[in-house]
Structure 1
Amino acid sequence: MSAFEIELFLCRSDNFGVILHDQKTGLTVSIDAPEEAAILAALERRGWTLTHILTTHHHADHVEANLALKQRFGATIIGPKNEAAKIPGIDRAVGDGDRFDLSGHTVAVIETPGHTAGHICYHVPDEKLLFAADTLFALGCGRLFERPAPVMWASLQKLLALPDDTVIYFGHEYTMSNARFAITVDPENIELADRVKEITAVREDGRFTAPTTMAVERRTNPFLRPDATGIRDTLGMADATDAEVFAEIRKRKDSF
């Protein structure tokens, strides 16, 4: 059982808000800060007081509430060193391979450029948690705004190195759209087909598709499977490199 209580909720239109709380110490961490009102409501709902914000990247829909929450709670803001100048209120800049402690929990920083140039993910190994924001989604990955496909593929390979039982929280509820696309490039994947049915039922029931696990993504997320024969056959790219296949998948998703 996790040492953290985790509150998952929607911010804005489709951003996920995630708050971690350590009951023993009172540590309360918001992963990014998409919207002040939604985060305040979640904190009030649980009776928690915010102590930290872990920022993954500079996009406005992930940092919008940084300054307001810092002013209200005095929260410490940790964020990516390669985007530090763009992170409102940042107190500590961290980069690839850095590790820091939050009330006895080691947090490892994994730099994953692609969606933005300095995007980072936060991995809590002893709790088997990964906060991937806009690098990796359920059945998807982030759009490549600031770095090209080979760079993003290298970033995703870092995440693929994590254990199968890693629980992944991601930045947006895009999963139904991702599912509809995934089956167009991996149509023979029976496990994917079953997952699409499951996701459809989950969303029709008004439930969230987060979190996911690395094991599930490894088997069904086409952006993590450019080496799969079925995908390569569908794309007509049997002899291409994994990076080239990944780039084609991302290109097709952009216009899907």
Structure 2
Amino acid sequence: MMKKKITFLLSFAISINSFAVDIYTPKAPPSIPMLPMKDGVKIHYYQDVHTEIIPKIIKNKDGIYVIPTNLGENLKNKGLKLKLLGVTSQGLISIISNKKIDNIKDLNGENILIGAQGSSPDIISKFLFKKNNITPKITYRSTPEVAKLMIIKKGDNAVLPEPMATLVLEKNSKLIRTIIYRDEWKKLTSLSGIPQVGLYTTSKYNKTHSKEIENFMKAYKQNLKDLKKDPNKFINLAQINFNIKLSDKGYEESIKYMNLTLIDGEKGVQLVKEYIKTLEENK
């Protein structure tokens, strides 16, 4: 009898696990609404999208991927069968400076640190710089290096995403958040924000796990609402899961600049198309 019971429990556990949605995400803002999820979701954190995630997508590995939308659309254009499930942020980036900057044009000729050449922050920065007819002196480092240099007063200006931007401000109170990219983007385009991060899955997985994906999307939307009402639970989970030494107050401040959302369906698809088109036309 005991043997039968153990066999049943094992088979039940395997059954639940087989229907879990695998989520591949960096330890970054779009994953915050996922943190309270337990049943039916398995979160796999990654550090490098190029070495850890693109090979999985090429092999058509099942799962949902949190990746930059410009990367997702580029992979689709190369023939990979990816589907955009939704946009998860409308802009995560700010410029942090060691002195007051009243206008983005004031950065002309100024030194500026940007994390990773060719990354979303770099592409969006170049778009904004070109449209404002300015040429800052760019130095590339990894995002953690950029943050460290600003904290120890070795940088003048830096392009940083959340929550790293707020972390830098918390560690060095003399620094200033001078430029918010979403605000600058809205001045120059017809879009209300920068849809730079999205949820993607393979076409195959979207068909074979449509119900599980639907349940995940519903839970994500609900958690977004809960996050706006009471961020404390999410902040506690972020403190446990993320390796960022940011205070609870700092996380609460950072969330204001994350612009987290979930724009799904055709609206999300069209938003990303317009975003990519805008970037392509202004290279």
- Determine if the TM-score, normalized by the shorter chain, exceeds 0.5: no
TM-score for the superposition, normalised by structure 2: 0.26
Structure number with larger C-alpha Rg? 2
Q: Which has the higher contact order (CA 8 A, sep 6+)?
A: 2
Larger helix percent: 2
